[in-house]
């Protein structure tokens, strides 16, 4: 199954104070999600415009996930917009080689905020079993990633689960009003 961000701490090793840190007391205004932001998140998560940056074998499973049997369109992510300027979800599907890495960074930078990245398959998440001179060992060393999907290639059900995870993440997010770059060092 897909990895949730935030699951990295082993909860069994933590003391009680540590556990309480994750419980959020939302009486402070700048930490709560207002009603307007809730509406915004609802509209964003159910109308994701995707940009499939498809390279390798995972593209075959991606085509099937978009196809009639495992329909990705039921979750709102129907339309593949083949231009980064018109899309907000970047699917990096397949192995990224070092020759292709500058192109990927450029495509990511051309997308407008708010934007999310799903790394589809082990080759995009960590390099897969291609530990050689030509393959980027995980695209999170060049662009920030929101959801990782393991599998070589992942089954369509895994992909649907990842999309639902991303929708839950969008639900929890606060709207960024002022600045455009989410990360300091891209």
Partner 1 sequence: MTISEDEVKKVRERFESDIISSYQDKDMVVFILKKEALLRFVQFIKEDPDIKMEQVTDITAVDWYQKRDVRFEVVYHFYSYTKNHRIRVKVPVEEQDPKVPSITGLFSGANWFERECWDMYGIVFVNHPDLRRILLYPEFVGHPLRKDYPIDKRQPLVKLIKPEERRERP
Partner 2 sequence: MSDLNERVQEITVNMGPSHPAMHGTIRLLITLVGEKVVRCDTQIGYLHRAFEKMSEANKWQAIFPYTDRLNYVSPLMNNVGYAQAVEKLIGIDIPERTKYIRVLLCELSRIADHLTCIAAASMELGAFTVFLYCMEGRDLIWDRIEELTGARVTPAYIRIGGLARDLPEGFLDRTLSILPRIEKVIGDVDALLTENPIFIERMRGTGVISQADAIEIGFTGPCLRSTGIKHDLRKKSPYLVYDRLEFDIPVGSNGDNYDRYMVRMEEMRQSIRIIRQVVRDMPGGKISIDNTMYILPPKEVVYNTIEGVVNHFKLIIDGIQVPAGEVYDATEAANGELGFYLVSDGGGKPVKCRVRSPSFALMQGLEKMVVGGSLADIIPTFGSINMIGGECDR
Stretches 7-15, 17-25, 41-49, 151-159: which one binds partner 2 (CB under 8 A)? 151-159
| Residue 15 binding target from partner 2, partner 1, none, CB below 5 to 8 Å by type | none
Whether the ω angle into residue 135 lies within 30 degrees of 0, i.e. cis, is no
Does 73 help bind partner 2 (rule: CB under 8 A)? no
Residues 139-168 that bind partner 1 (CB under 8 A): 140-142, 144-145
Q: Say which entry of partner 1, partner 2, none residue 53 contacts (CB below 5 to 8 A, set by partner kind).
A: partner 2
DSSP of 52-83: EEE-STHHHHHHHHHSSSS-GGGGT---B-SS
36 vs 183, which CB is nearer to partner 1? Answer: 183
Interface with partner 2 in residues 75-94 (CB under 8 A): 80, 82, 94
Reduced to 3 states (helix: H, G, I; strand: E, B; else coil), residue 92 is strand
CB atoms within 10 A of CB 159: 27
- C-alpha dist (Å) from residue 12 to 3, 8, 9, 21: 18, 12, 9, 15
Contact 107, 53 (CB under 8 A): yes
Give me the residues that bind partner 2 (CB under 8 A), please: 52-57, 59-64, 67-69, 80, 82, 94-95, 97, 99-100, 103-104, 107, 129-130, 132-135, 152-153, 155
Give me the residues that bind partner 1 (CB under 8 A), please: 98-99, 101-102, 105, 131-134, 136, 138, 140-142, 144-145, 179, 181-186
């Amino acid at each position: 199954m897909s990895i949730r961000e935030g699951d990295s701490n082993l909860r069994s090793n933590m003391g009680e104070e540590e556990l309480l840190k994750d419980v959020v007391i939302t009486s402070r205004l700048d930490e709560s999600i207002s009603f307007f932001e809730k509406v915004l998140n609802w509209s964003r998560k159910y109308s994701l415009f995707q940009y499939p940056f498809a390279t390798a074998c995972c593209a075959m499973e991606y085509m099937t996930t978009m196809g009639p049997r495992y329909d990705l369109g039921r979750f709102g992510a129907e339309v593949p917009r083949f231009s980064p300027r018109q899309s907000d979800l970047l699917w990096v599907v397949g192995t990224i080689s070092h020759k292709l890495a500058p192109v990927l960074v450029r495509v990511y930078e051309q997308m407008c905020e708010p934007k999310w990245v799903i790394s589809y398959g082990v080759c995009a998440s960590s390099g897969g079993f291609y530990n050689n001179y030509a393959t980027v060992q995980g695209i999170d060393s060049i662009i920030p990633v929101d959801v990782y999907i393991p599998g070589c290639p992942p089954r369509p059900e895994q992909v649907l689960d990842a999309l639902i995870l991303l929708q839950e993440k969008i639900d929890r997010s606060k709207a960024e009003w002022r600045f455009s770059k989410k990360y300091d060092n891209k």
